[in-house]
């Protein structure tokens, strides 16, 4: 036993530092010669899952050094269909991009493979808590003596390889197989049904008790704890929620739920034009072409994107604008979910988005495409995963009258702000808000001093606009900002109607450059401003912010990676 009197504790990103200690063990012979050695980097922390009962059911939260953290991250899939192309440099860039967007956790999906050692080393350094699935997913398995031995060896070898890493948050038996066995999705035989319990609730836990008894084990994802005990239970365990996307539900549907931990939820988009050009000829650039449909993992999903598009935006006038609009849909869908669940911290303690990355250039749920290019969603995650977040729960046509041909009736128009503080310190600041015209002019405004405790949320009073003649839902929007120590740390806008029905004016976007800084000027309100290289060279430019909303004025954006001779800009105004 080695006693460390004043240990420097390892923390997930956003909660503290990630100090690592070198450990070296030597096996010496009787003559003092070194017969073998073992050397690793470790972090000192305690980590488990808090599953204690509370007033809503059972908690489900990563507990690190006694502190319950709110997991914000994404699901990781294999980075390439040819694994020899996956390198430490490529993986490190991907994980650093995740950390740059505020991720503090990552789930290694059970339908892929066990990553190389360097994956976990990088997660140790970046403070990314790893939810590690065992490699079983979406299938039914039947045990025999040889297969059971195969499982035992595979499990033992990987547990021994990974168990020392500070980032390891939990082991999970499989992906979606408790629910799929219970609802007989893959038509399991009766033996396979019984073998499920034997494999995930006896064989694997037994190995873990011998090899890694200190790391929390969860039998499946999603699950309420195993034994086929209602794995869909909203009040316990983790959830895969897909009614937004697969179920064609509107983005506001998230607000009906108080899940304990979302380990999967997502929304698709197309990659940018530059990526689409890598696998198409000009004649293929129609989303229903054979090539475009072959580069789609989900059956008929290109049409699903158009279905959501029809509810949200005007029909784009070009293929390129359609790609842009699809990324805005993905960004808004996930923002609605993450912000809602962060507003209910304590009830919910995790939002892990499906998915982080792509295995090939394709339309998908990823926030970073195959070539490492950030989609709109990844830029937006920097805001929705920020340690201190100001968000708005608006009421208007989106939640009460989504179809304009519905019979008119009474409708609430309101906005309620909430500050989410996912830091270890109290936050004091000023919340500003404005009701603005479609041109961006302030019609009404207000301020409120706020104090939000560490790891807590604060709801502000609802602001009512129902019946206010200044609040025409098609011509007015709600803008809000949180100022802390003189700096705007979080801001956003909310519309009270679908963007397709909002009266956007030409924002008059202009851009000038000062070194590595781009200064964007808007004369009027601009929604989802995208900046991209406009020199025709196909060069990729990564920025400090992109796909952002602007009130009239200026915004400064830094070039972080790549460059271009000139730049182009567009906003929702251009989707027509």
CA dist., res. 175 & res. 223, Å (int): 10
* Phi, psi (degrees; rounded to nearest 5) at 148: -60, -40
Instruction: Specify the pLDDT at position 550.
Output: 97
Over the stretch 39-49, which tens digit does the pLDDT of each residue have? 999 999 999 99
Over the stretch 105-124, which tens digit does the pLDDT of each residue have? 999 999 999 999 999 999 99
* Helix (H/G/I), strand (E/B), else coil: 358: coil
pLDDT band at 408, cuts 50/70/90? confident
CA dist., res. 463 & res. 460, Å (int): 9
Instruction: Specify the pLDDT at position 535.
Output: 66
Query: What is the length of the chain?
Result: 576
Over the stretch 43-70, which tens digit does the pLDDT of each residue have? 999 999 999 999 999 999 999 999 999 9
Q: How many helices (H) and strands (E) does the chain have?
A: 12, 30
Closest CA to 496 of 410, 407, 394, 409: 394
CA dist., res. 548 & res. 569, Å (int): 11
CA dist., res. 298 & res. 278, Å (int): 20
Over the stretch 495-537, which tens digit does the pLDDT of each residue have? 999 999 999 999 999 999 999 999 999 999 999 999 999 765 5
- Indicate the helix (H) or strand (E) that contains 303: helix 301-312
pLDDT band at 297, cuts 50/70/90? confident
The pair of three-digit structure tokens given for residue 74, joined into one six-digit string: 């994404």
DSSP label at residue 40? E
Closest CA to 208 of 236, 171, 263, 180: 171
User: Within a 13 Å sphere around the CA of 247, how many CA atoms are in the beta-carbon half?
Assistant: 13
pLDDT band at 259, cuts 50/70/90? very high
pLDDT band at 572, cuts 50/70/90? very high
Instruction: Specify the pLDDT at position 287.
Output: 96
Over the stretch 456-488, which tens digit does the pLDDT of each residue have? 999 999 999 999 999 999 999 999 999 999 999
The CA-based angle 485-486-492, given to 5 degrees, is 105
Closest CA to 473 of 391, 404, 413: 413
In the beta sheet, which residues pair with residue 53?
58
Closest CA to 131 of 97, 173, 102: 173
Is 445 buried (19+), middle (13-18) or exposed (0-12) by CB count in 10 A?
exposed
Instruction: Specify the pLDDT at position 540.
Output: 85
Buried (b) or exposed (e) across 197-215, using 16+ Cβ within 10 A?
bebbbebbbebbeeebeeb
The pair of three-digit structure tokens given for residue 110, joined into one six-digit string: 């059970």
DSSP label at residue 545? S
Instruction: Specify the pLDDT at position 537.
Output: 53
pLDDT band at 250, cuts 50/70/90? very high
CA dist., res. 261 & res. 455, Å (int): 16
pLDDT band at 2, cuts 50/70/90? confident
The arithmetic mean of pLDDT across residues 435-461, rounded, is 98
The arithmetic mean of pLDDT across residues 360-377, rounded, is 97
In the beta sheet, which residues pair with residue 108?
76, 132
DSSP E strands, 43-101: 47-50, 53-54, 57-58, 61-64, 67-69, 71-76
Closest CA to 312 of 320, 302, 322: 322
pLDDT, the chain, mean: 96
Over the stretch 269-280, which tens digit does the pLDDT of each residue have? 999 999 999 999
CA dist., res. 384 & res. 74, Å (int): 13
Over the stretch 197-219, which tens digit does the pLDDT of each residue have? 999 999 999 999 999 999 999 99
């Amino acid at each position: 036993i080695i006693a460390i009197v004043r240990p420097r504790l390892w923390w997930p990103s956003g909660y503290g530092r990630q100090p690592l200690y070198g450990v070296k063990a030597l096996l010496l012979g009787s003559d003092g010669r070194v017969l073998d050695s073992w050397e690793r980097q470790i972090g000192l922390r305690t980590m488990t899952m808090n599953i204690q009962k509370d007033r809503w059911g059972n908690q489900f939260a990563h507990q690190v050094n006694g502190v319950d953290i709110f997991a914000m991250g994404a699901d990781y899939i294999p980075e390439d269909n040819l694994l020899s192309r996956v390198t430490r440099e490529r993986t490190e860039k991907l994980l650093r991009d995740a950390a740059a967007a505020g991720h503090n956790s990552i789930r290694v999906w059970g339908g892929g493979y066990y990553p190389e050692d360097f994956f976990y080393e990088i997660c140790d350094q970046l403070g990314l808590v790893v939810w590690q699935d065992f490699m079983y997913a979406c299938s039914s398995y039947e045990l025999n003596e040889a297969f059971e031995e195969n499982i035992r060896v595979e499990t033992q070898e990987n547990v021994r390889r990974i168990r020392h890493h500070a980032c390891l948050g939990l082991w999970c038996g499989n992906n979606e197989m408790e629910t799929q066995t219970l609802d007989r999705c893959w038509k399991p035989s009766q033996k396979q049904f019984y073998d499920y319990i034997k494999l995930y609730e006896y064989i694997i836990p037994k190995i873990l008790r011998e090899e890694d008894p200190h790391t929390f084990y969860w039998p499946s994802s999603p699950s309420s704890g195993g034994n086929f005990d209602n794995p869909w239970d909203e009040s316990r365990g983790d959830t895969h929620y897909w009614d937004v996307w697969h179920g064609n539900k509107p983005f506001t549907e998230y607000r009906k739920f108080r899940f304990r931990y979302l380990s999967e939820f997502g929304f698709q988009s197309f990659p940018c034009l530059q990526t689409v050009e890598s696998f198409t000829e000009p004649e293929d650039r129609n989303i229903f072409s054979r090539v475009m449909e072959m580069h789609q993992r989900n059956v008929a999903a290109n049409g699903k994107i158009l279905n959501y598009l029809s509810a949200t935006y005007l029909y784009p006038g070009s293929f390129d604008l359609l790609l842009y609009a699809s990324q805005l849909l993905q960004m808004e869908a996930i923002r609605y979910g993450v912000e809602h669940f962060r507003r209910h911290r304590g009830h919910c303690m995790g939002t892990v988005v499906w998915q982080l990355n792509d295995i090939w250039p394709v339309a998908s749920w990823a926030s970073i495409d195959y070539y490492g290019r950030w989609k709109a969603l990844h830029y937006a995650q920097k805001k929705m995963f920020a340690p201190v977040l100001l968000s708005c729960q608006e009421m208007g046509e989106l939640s009460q009258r989504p179809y304009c041909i519905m019979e008119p009736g009474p409708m609430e128009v309101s906005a309620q702000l909430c500050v989410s503080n996912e830091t270890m310190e109290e936050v004091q600041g000023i919340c500003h808000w404005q009701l603005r015209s479609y041109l961006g002019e302030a019609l009404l405004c207000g301020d409120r001093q706020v104090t939000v405790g560490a790891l807590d949320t604060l709801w502000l009073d609802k602001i009512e606009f129902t019946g206010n003649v200044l609040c025409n839902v098609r011509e007015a929007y709600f803008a809000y900002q949180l100022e802390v120590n003189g700096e705007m740390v979080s801001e956003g806008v909310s519309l009270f109607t679908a963007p397709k029905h909002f009266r956007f004016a030409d924002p008059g976007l202009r851009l000038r450059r000062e070194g590595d800084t781009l200064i964007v000027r808007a004369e009027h309100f601009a929604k989802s401003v995208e900046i991209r290289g406009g020199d025709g060279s196909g060069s990729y430019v990564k920025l400090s912010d992109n796909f952002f909303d602007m009130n009239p004025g200026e915004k400064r954006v830094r070039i972080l990676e790549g460059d271009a001779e000139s730049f182009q800009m567009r906003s929702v105004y251009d989707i027509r």
